[in-house]
Chain A
Amino acid sequence: MDAFTRFTNQTQGRDRLFRATQYTCMLLRYLLEPKAGKEKVVMKLKELESSVSTGRKWFRLGNVVHAVQATQQSIHATDLVPRLCLTLSNLNRVIYFICDTILWVRSVGLASGINKEKWRMWAARHYYYSLLLSLVRDLYEISLKMEQIAHDRAKKKKSSFQNPPEHSVADEETEWLQSFLLLLFRSLRSHPPLLLDTVKNLGDILNPLNQLGIYKSNAGVIGLGGLISSIAGIIIVAYPQMKLKIR
């Protein structure tokens, strides 16, 4: 219980737990909706989802400052590609949080003249750009890691003599694909923070893709993606060494 208390004392920890609940409700609703006799359960899930989603806005108020600070930190990254990607990604997050705050002001009734749809689209667009840039950075890091592992393995192979056996062109292609996938698997396994960050971004990007109409999926897919990314986020908060550091 002590670990749970320490986890929930952090705003991010609590927020990710609620997020996981929200997307679980979305997924369960999608699975139970077509079934007969489950209307009450589906309605309760909908109410829970909407109240948790509304309540989470309180966790996001003031996160503009967090995103500005993250932008300042990412400007100091040593490598060019991560520096560019992370800075632009964090700038997009700043704009996303500004749009989110404006939507909050509208939802509590403080200012009624705000066009909710327009600002929601803006928020979704900038969230999408920020996730896309994070994914570019992840892919860059993965490719670096794969190069490094391939280089290490080539060095190890040089020391031991081996005659490459004869094989056909088709075999060569499947072997290339197999070794590529193996290299990808090895590089992700050796660097869990990178794996977690990639999984989180991939899970998160499904929602804005659906909202912007780029890739229309259903509530089940979005719910599953959101749940997986929330679990990855919970692991990152519970074990801070799993956070992907800026090099």
Chain B
Amino acid sequence: MDAWVRFSAQSQARERLCRAAQYACCLLGHALQRHGASPELQKQIRQLEGHLSLGRKLLRLGNSADALESAKRAVHLSDVVLRFCITVSHLNRALYFACDNVLWAGKSGLAPHVDQEKWAQRSFRYYLFSLIMNLSRDAYEIRLLMEQESSACSRRLKSSGGGVPEGIEIGGSGGPGAPGGSLPQLALKLRLQVLLLARVLRGHPPLLLDVVRNACDLCIPLDKLGLWRCGPGIVGLCGLISSILSILTLIYPWLRLKP
């Protein structure tokens, strides 16, 4: 009971719970439609999804300030690539929240002349840019960690006696062997890279969580902007997974990716 009180005292936690419920409704609605459930039940689920969506917009009022604050903090990071990716991502998020606030004003009747379609498209565009920046940052972190891991591995191999056989040297652009590298050699290299990637991700759960979350979130704006129509089922499932993962980062703060 104490854990729920502490968890629900954060406004972000409540918003994430509503998000999880909204995408669960989306998924459920799609499943009910596929299996031919009664139109009454489908209407109820759609209505609940609509209420959740509007409620979340109110819960998110004021998140622009939070995103700008995070962008201000990210400007002081030492690494140039991280500084650029994270700051631009937060700025895009701030713009996304601003568009979302305009949509709320339109839906709640304060500004009835707001073009809902136009502002929704705008908001999804900013959301997409922010996600692309997040994924770029994740890719950069993964690359850094893979380089670290591979140099640590080769140091270990060197110190355990004997030279390193040429084709097995990992993380480099290929040894001074045959310039056009044969197919089995390429396949071996690729396999080693994949193993290294798996090792890096397994050793850094926050990074893995962040990658999966951003990848799942990517489906939503891609579907809404018409770039890759995956359908409400996939959107609902991906949204639900990413909401659950972000709830986990709120419950266990050590799972959050720190710059």
Contact = CB atoms under 8 A, between A and B. Distances in A.
* Chains A and B bind each other: yes
A154 interface: no
Grouping DSSP codes into helix (H, G, I), strand (E, B) and loop, the B interface class, with mixed when no group exceeds half, is helix
A69 B51 CA distance: 29
B65 A8 contact: yes
A48 to B, nearest CB: 6
Grouping DSSP codes into helix (H, G, I), strand (E, B) and loop, the A interface class, with mixed when no group exceeds half, is helix
A172 interface: no
A9 B62 CA distance: 10
B55 A55 contact: yes
B68 A1 contact: yes
Interface residues of B, number: 30
Interface in B37-70: 44, 47-48, 51, 54-56, 58-59, 62, 65-66, 68-69
A110 interface: yes
Contact of B108 (A48, A56, A68, A108): A48
Contact of B18 (A9, A51, A58, A65): A58
A9 B12 contact: yes
A14 B68 contact: no
Interface in B1-57: 1-2, 4-5, 8-14, 18, 44, 47-48, 51, 54-56
Interface string B103-144: 000011110000000000000000000000000000000000
B9 A10 contact: yes
Contact of A62 (B8, B51, B69): B8
Interface string A1-16: 1101100111111100
Interface in A1-42: 1-2, 4-5, 8-14, 18
A14 B62 contact: yes
B1 A55 contact: no
Contact of A69 (B5, B13, B107): B5
B110 A18 contact: no
Contact of B1 (A47, A48, A56, A69): A69
A186 interface: no
Given A58-B18, A108-B51, A11 B44 contact: no
